[in-house]
């Protein structure tokens, strides 16, 4: 049971490391917005594909964390 609950952990850890790497690069707010939009579109495409539905957590988590980073960046600028 525990193994099944932790089975989707890679779907959160892998995009999380990707976003941390992008945060160190220092992307502009427009780049973060583009990342959010691409993550949402990829989520929609993966949901509609029968064989790739198992990977839907990857782009949706990228979109979520990119939105959080954009909010954090706007808090520091204003």
pLDDT tens, per residue, the chain with 78 residues: 444 544 567 777 888 888 888 888 888 889 999 999 999 999 999 899 888 887 888 888 889 989 988 898 887 665
Tokens 């520091």 locate to 76
Number of structural domains (the chain) is 1
Q: How far apart are CA 74 and CA 78, in angstroms?
A: 6
Q: Are 69 and 32 in contact (CB under 8 A)?
A: yes
Residue owning tokens 């959010």: 36
pLDDT at position 6, please?
47
- Which residues span the domain enclosing 57? 29-78
Residue 46 domain flag: yes
Identify the pLDDT of residue 78: 55
In a domain, 11, yes or no: no
What's the confidence (pLDDT) of residue 45? 92
Q: Which residue has the tokens 């780049």?
A: 31
Q: Does residue 36 lie within any of the structural domains?
A: yes
- The reply to whether 58 falls in a domain is yes
Determine the longest span between alpha carbons in the chain, in angstroms.
46
Cα 12 to its chain centre, rounded Å, is: 8
pLDDT recorded at residue 38: 95
């Amino acid at each position: 049971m525990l193994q099944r609950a932790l089975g989707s952990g890679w779907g959160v850890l892998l995009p999380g490391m990707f976003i941390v790497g992008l945060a160190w690069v220092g992307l502009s707010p427009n780049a973060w917005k583009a990342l959010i939009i691409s993550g949402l579109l990829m989520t929609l495409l993966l949901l509609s594909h029968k064989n790739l539905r198992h990977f839907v957590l990857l782009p949706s988590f990228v979109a979520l964390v990119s939105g959080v980073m954009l909010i954090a960046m706007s808090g520091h600028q204003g």
